[in-house]
């Protein structure tokens, strides 16, 4: 199912998302949500999507791993992700967001990160990421913490020619 994407200033986007319990993960309570998020992200041509962006305040994010790295995987599912380590070296790159269509901004972020997260079976994993993958993970974890990229942007611009065609909740 394709879900509507919530737009700034919807309150769910500014709320810290709830951690999933081990039982909720093991019984697959949110497996339908994860599948719907995958369909929604692909339909909207996104590279990442966090559950609050579809109106559900839980700590789930997905990333189109093929779009951001050379990995063999298709979609990276992050349940209860936490950044454990950040590099001192930072880079500036332009970011956009499905919840703020047609707005882009230069954001300074750590170039490399190490995260821990759970997969859909509840197993805790560690991932070292750099470059664009690290940036997308940080962007999505920010969503889970109720932070939008615009609050971190050094500069912002608007693409006045872009007309969103996606079903949004304003």
Residue with tokens 């949004």: 168
Catalytic residue among 18, 111, 140, 165: 140
Residue 140 bears catalytic tag = yes
Taken in order 53, 54, 60, 65, is the CA torsion positive or negative? negative
Residue numbers annotated as active site: 140
């Amino acid at each position: 199912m394709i879900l509507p994407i919530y737009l700034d200033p919807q309150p769910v986007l500014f709320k810290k998302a709830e951690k999933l319990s081990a039982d909720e993960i093991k019984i697959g309570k949110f497996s339908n949500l994860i599948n719907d998020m995958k369909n929604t992200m692909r339909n909207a041509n996104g590279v990442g999507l966090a559950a609050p962006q579809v109106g559900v305040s839980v700590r789930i994010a997905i990333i189109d791993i093929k779009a951001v790295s050379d990995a063999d995987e298709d979609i990276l599912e992050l349940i209860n992700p936490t950044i454990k380590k950040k590099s001192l070296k930072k880079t500036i790159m332009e970011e956009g967001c499905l919840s703020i269509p047609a707005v882009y901004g230069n954001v300074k972020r750590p170039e490399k990160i190490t995260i821990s997260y759970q997969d859909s079976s509840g197993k805790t994993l560690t991932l070292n990421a750099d470059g664009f993958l690290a940036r997308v993970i940080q962007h999505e974890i920010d969503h889970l913490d109720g932070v939008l990229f615009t609050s971190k942007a050094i500069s912002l611009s608007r693409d006045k020619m872009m007309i969103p065609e996606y079903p949004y909740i304003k």
